[in-house]
Amino acid sequence: MSAESVDAAYAPFVASLLAGGFGPPPPGEWPAELIAAHVAANNDLIAATAEQVAAGDEVRYDNAGTVEEDELTRYAARAGGAAGLAREVERSAARLERARQSLGERGETMVHVIIRDHGHIVQDGPVPIGAFIEGNASFHLDLHHEQLKALEPARSGNPPAEFDQYQLVLLERAPDPPVLDEQQSDALQRRHLGHFEKMRAAGLMTVAGPVAADDTIAGICLYRAGTTERARRLAEDDPAVRAGRFVVRVMTWYTAKDALRWSGDPGAAG
């Protein structure tokens, strides 16, 4: 698990909380609010443990306080419902990630861990703190997310009655781009952006922008040119494409009618 994925792992859990609509739990099980309160409180407890390890302190972990229902009920009340609990999960997950990153070589430090579940001790022994964090953000999180999903309402959707149609253009990095000095590169970039301005002024493009951290795709453009053939011709008229910096891929993209509103659309805000 990468450092980034510790934080990102909580996104589906948070989405479930924000969607809401939870039903009552089976007898003896926690409602959604207590599940979320436990996850957030446990993240903070493990993060605090890791922070102490990073500081060179000897420390033990005992989850007793994070499974006590009265305390979890108070936590949920302070958070202010599902939306507040979602923020608490995100906050505590970010803290957990920072704590993990601070460990460095101390990630292999053994910490005595006591885990209680339904009144029984299910773990009582040493665990490497780094592996403990990873386990918390994987199978422990997955377990509680499944509990949360079991309380969600059944959701299904029907296809839209009408669609809007766009031409999605991917600007891909050319395998053999031109070699330009800084001045030439800057000038080409300005002409490239000028092409976007021209397309928007002509009412043929809704939005365009760069893509980060991808070795192939440099940018995405959304055209309203009527056909992929027209969109390809327009995209290939981009000075950066003509110069060989980018190649284009064009496809049709459908959305539910009026799902996207743009500043130039009739009735759009602004």
The tens digit of pLDDT for each residue in 189-210 reads: 999 999 999 999 999 999 999 9
- Examine the domain organization and report whether 146 and 172 are in the same domain: no
Residue range 217-239: average pLDDT? 97
On the question of pLDDT at 269 being above 70, the answer is no
The answer on 40 and 14 residing in a single domain is: yes
On the question of pLDDT at 2 being above 60, the answer is no
Q: What are 178's two structure tokens?
A: 């031109």
Q: What is the rounded CA–CA span in Å between residue 37 and residue 88?
A: 8
Domain that holds residue 83: 3-151
What the block records as the tokens of 231 is: 């969109």
CA distance 250 to 176: 20
Nearest Cα to Cα of residue 88 among 79, 96, 100, 97: 79
Task: State the distance between the two ends of the chain, measured CA to CA, in whole angstroms.
Answer: 44
Q: For the chain, what percent of residues have pLDDT higher than 90?
A: 93
Task: Give the per-residue pLDDT at 270.
Answer: 39
Query: Does the structure show a pLDDT above 90 at 6?
Result: no
pLDDT band at 226 (very low <50, low <70, confident <90, very high): very high
Q: What is the pLDDT of residue 261?
A: 83
**Confidence class of residue 228 from pLDDT cuts 50, 70 and 90?**
very high
Separation CA 87–CA 96 (nearest Å): 14
Taking only the tens place, the pLDDT of each residue in 77-121 is: 999 999 999 999 999 999 999 999 999 999 999 999 999 998 899
**Quick one: pLDDT at residue 5?**
75
Q: Is the separation of the CB atoms in 123 and 136 below 8 Å?
A: no
pLDDT in tens, 31-56: 999 999 999 999 999 999 999 999 99
For position 57, what pLDDT does the model report? 96
Asked if the structure places residue 210 within a domain, the reply is yes
Question: Which pLDDT score, from 0 to 100, does residue 259 have?
Answer: 92
Structural domain includes residue 125: yes
Question: Could you give the number of structural domains in the chain?
Answer: 2
Contact 17/93 with Cβ under 8 angstroms? no
Confidence label for 262 from pLDDT (cuts 50, 70 and 90): confident
For residues 44 and 79, give the distance between their C-alpha atoms in angstroms, rounded to a whole number. Answer: 14
Q: Is the residue at 270 inside a domain?
A: no
State which of 119, 151, 183 marks the end of a domain.
Answer: 151
Residue 96, domain member (yes or no): yes
**pTM of this prediction?**
0.85
pLDDT averaged over every residue in the chain: 94
65 and 120 within one domain: yes
The amino acid that residue 134 corresponds to is E
Write the single-letter amino acid at 241.
Answer: V
Assess contact for 166 and 182: CB atoms under 8 A: no
Number of C-alpha atoms within 13 angstroms, CB side, residue 10? 28
| pLDDT score for 266 | 52
pLDDT at residue 126 above 80? Answer: yes
Would you say residue 22 has pLDDT above 90? yes
Sheet holding 120-128, edge to edge: 60-62, 110-117, 120-128
Report whether pLDDT(7) > 90.
no
Are 100 and 54 in contact, with CB atoms under 8 Å apart?
no
* Structure-token pair, residue 11: 């996104």
Report the CATH number that the domain containing residue 228 is assigned in CATH: 3.30.70.1060
Helix or strand or coil: residue 117? strand
Cβ-proximal residues to 177 (8 Å cutoff; 6+ apart), any chain:
244, 245
- Asked if 216 and 173 count as a contact pair (C-beta separation under 8 A), the reply is yes
Match 């009920």 to its residue by tokens.
Answer: 73
Among 128, 151, 174, the domain boundary falls at 151
Question: Which residue carries 């229902």 as its tokens?
Answer: 69
Write the DSSP symbol of residue 167: E
**C-alpha radius of gyration, the chain, whole number:** 26
